[in-house]
Amino acid sequence: MSQFYKPEEEVFCNDGREQQLLASIQSHPNLPSMIGVPARILEAIDDFGRNHNFLMNVGKAKGSIVSRKIAEKCPTTMVELGGYIGYSAIMFGDALRKAGGKSYISLEKSEGFAAVARSLLAIAGLDDFVEVRIGPCDASLRQLRQEQPELQIDLLFLDHQKSAYVYDLILCEELCLVRSGSLVIADNVISPGAPGYLEYVRGTRAERATIRDKIQAKQQRPVTSENGVVAYLSELVASFEPTGEPDGLEISSAINTAE
C-alpha cells in the first residue's frame, strides 16, 4: 500500500468523489471507533486518498506543521479560507480545542463540499466547535466583521484559490481582522505557488503599500490605513503534499514595527 495519495489528475474534485468519501466513512466497519476521535477520521480520509481517489487536503506532513504552530501560539480564534471536505478543519479544530481556543471558522464557497465537511466534523465530535460558513470567503469575512465588531483572527489559514490569497489577506487587514499579533499561514506556496502573495508578505512597507493601492484601485475598494500591521515576519517552511510532491507553507507573523 502506497504511503502517498493518488496523483492529482486533470479532474481532481467535484466529480462525486467527495460524496463517495463520506459514504465510505459512514459505512466503514470501524465507524464506531471513529466517532468522537478526530485522528481516526483523518486516517480514514487519508486511506481514501491513498487507495481510491486524490483529495485536495493539506495532508499529514504540512498539517502537523500547522498543528504545532497552534499548540505554540494557543490562538483564541482561527479562520480558514477554503475548507473543502473538512480535513484541515478536523485536524486544526482538534488542535485548537486542545490548546484552549474558543472558535474555529471554516469558510467554504461550495455547498456540496461544506455539507460533506459538516457530516465528517459531526462524526469527529467537532461540530459544536467548528463552524462551517458557506459562500465566497470575502463576503463571509465582511459578514463576520459585522456580526463581531471586536473579532481578531489570531491564526488565519489560507488554502483557497491561490491567486486570491493576496486580495483576501488585504481584505482581512482592511476589516481589522488581521492585525499586529495575528499569524497567517498560507498553503501551497510552492505547488502550485502564490507569487503575488509572497511578494506582498515578504515586501517592504513601501512595496506592500504599492500592491495594496493597485488592488484597492482595481477593485474600487476604499483606500484604508494600515491598521497597525506594519510588516510581516515571514518564512517558508518546506514540506510535502500528500501525493509526495514538494510544497511549502509561508508562515507570516503580523507585527507593528512601532511596538
Ligand X SMILES: C[S@@+](CC[C@H](N)C(=O)[O-])C[C@H]1O[C@@H](n2cnc3c(N)ncnc32)[C@H](O)[C@@H]1O
CB of 55 to ligand X, least distance (A): 8
What CA–CA distance (Å, rounded) separates 191 from 80? 19
223 vs 174: CA distance, rounded Å: 9
For cell 487507495, the residue is 51
Measured from the CB atom, the residue of 139 and 209 that comes closer to ligand X is 139
Query: Considering beta carbons, is residue 161 or 256 the nearer one to ligand X?
Result: 161
* Beta pairing, strands 183-186 & 155-158: parallel
Q: Give the shortest CB-237-to-ligand X separation in angstroms.
A: 16
Least spacing, CB of residue 43 vs ligand X, in Å: 14
Which residue do the cell numbers 461540530 mark? 127
**Cβ nearer to ligand X, comparing 84 with 197:** 84
Please, what is the Cα angle at 170 between 205 and 184, to 5 degrees?
A: 85
CB of 107 to ligand X, least distance (A): 5
CB nearer ligand X, residue 188 or residue 252: 188
Distant-in-sequence, close-in-space partners of 153: CB < 8 Å, separation ≥ 6: 77, 78, 79, 172, 177, 178, 182
Nearest approach in angstroms of CB 251 to ligand X is 16
- Where on the chain is the footprint of ligand X (CB under 6 A)? 56-58, 80-84, 87-88, 107-110, 113, 136-137, 159-161, 164
CB of 114 to ligand X, least distance (A): 8
Closest distance between ligand X and the C-beta of residue 228, in Å? 26
Residue sitting closest to ligand X (CB): 82
Q: Which three cell numbers stand for residue 167?
A: 486580495
- Nearer Cβ to ligand X (107/201): 107
Edge to edge, the sheet with strand 231-240 lists 130-134, 103-108, 77-81, 155-158, 183-186, 246-255, 231-240
Q: Which is nearer to ligand X, 215 or 230 (by Cβ)?
A: 215
Nearer to ligand X, 113 or 197 (CB): 113
